[in-house]
Structure 1
Amino acid sequence: MAFNGKYEIESQENYDEFLKKIGIPDDIIEKGRNFKIVTEVIQNGNEFTWSQVYPQKTMTNKFVIDQESEMETMAGKKFKATVTLEGGKITVRFPNYQHTAEISGDKLVECSTSGGVTMKRTSKRI
């Protein structure tokens, strides 16, 4: 259960550019820029509950690896997707970006890519 735990964001790259690319309003981008996003992952075998606490809301996605699940985007849009796990890396295709997450040492490293722009977030276990 490598992903189990609570993580607090330490650093992020290409935050503004990526969020603008996927259509997040400027006021929301501004509110979240220096906010210490907390991610909590509960992993039970192939079942995951993945929650992220943002300034304006908490987003929780529940999914089972290799099974279609209903998910929610950062912008609050509902969609169906299949999450995969290969080589210790979780991958899911959101409607307008692809997201990966992996544990590297004691850190959660997440990358979201849209139209050639990749936002990288690194979070420490708390």
Structure 2
Amino acid sequence: MPFDLAEFNGTWRLSRHENYREFLRKIGIPEECVAGALEVTTEAEVTQEDDVITWTGTTGAQKAVSSFRLGEEFEEEHLGGKKKVMYRWEENSLVSSYQDWDGTGLKVTITRQLQGDTLDLTMTAGDVTCHVQSVRC
């Protein structure tokens, strides 16, 4: 592990995004939800206890909680149902991989890189890639 996972701990607020709308559409988010997601505050709280990481994501009034261990596949709750995912370290990034997002084989990968108090995400769904930046609150 290149650095202490505890460095991810804290609350992160979405500060900017590029191609986010197209990414949300690609993963099958209904258009009315896409529009809403772009207009409300999105935050993630990250905590760690022993080897269990918990992400609590809040978008407007919607909240989702995921607890996991690195390298173990589990089902994560998303709009549209549960998705199988595995989190792992890859070089200096925390990567989550969904091998079959929608039952048609759509692969989704989210790569998180920590740069001080900025968390940069590169999210890819098939041929669509978006970039999201969050700042520590």
TM-score normalised by L of structure 2: 0.82
Does the alignment pair 1:33 with 2:44? no
In the alignment of these two chains, the number of paired residues is 125
Report the Cα distance in structure 2 between the residues aligned to 1:36 and 1:58, rounded to whole angstroms.
12
Query: Secondary structure, in 3 states, of the residue corresponding to 2:25?
Result: helix
Counterpart pick for 2:53 among 43, 48, 56:
48
Quick one: structure 1 residues 76 and 102, their matched pair in 2 at CA, closer, same or farther if it must change by over 3 Å?
farther
Contact kept? 1:62, 1:69, Cα under 8 Å: no
Counterpart pick for 2:117 among 97, 103, 106:
106
4+ runs of 1 displaced by more than 3 Å?
none
Partner of 1:82: 86
TM-score normalised by L of structure 1: 0.88
Report the Cα distance in structure 1 between the residues aligned to 2:22 and 2:83, rounded to whole angstroms.
23
Identity %: 30
RMSD (Å), alpha carbons: 1.6
Query: Secondary structure, in 3 states, of the residue corresponding to 2:7?
Result: coil
Instruction: Name whichever of 26-35 and 38-47 sits farther off.
Output: 38-47
Query: Secondary structure, in 3 states, of the residue corresponding to 1:31?
Result: helix
Amino acid at match of 1:6: T
Instruction: Name whichever of 15-24 and 81-90 sits farther off.
Output: 81-90
Deviation for aligned residue 1:85: 1.5
Deviation string, structure 1 residues 54-108 (Cα, Å, up to 9, x no partner)? 12411111110012222123x2421332211233311112224111212112111
Unaligned runs of 5+ in 1: none
Partner of 2:3: none
Quick one: structure 1 residues 43 and 87, their matched pair in 2 at CA, closer, same or farther if it must change by over 3 Å?
farther
Partner of 2:24: 19
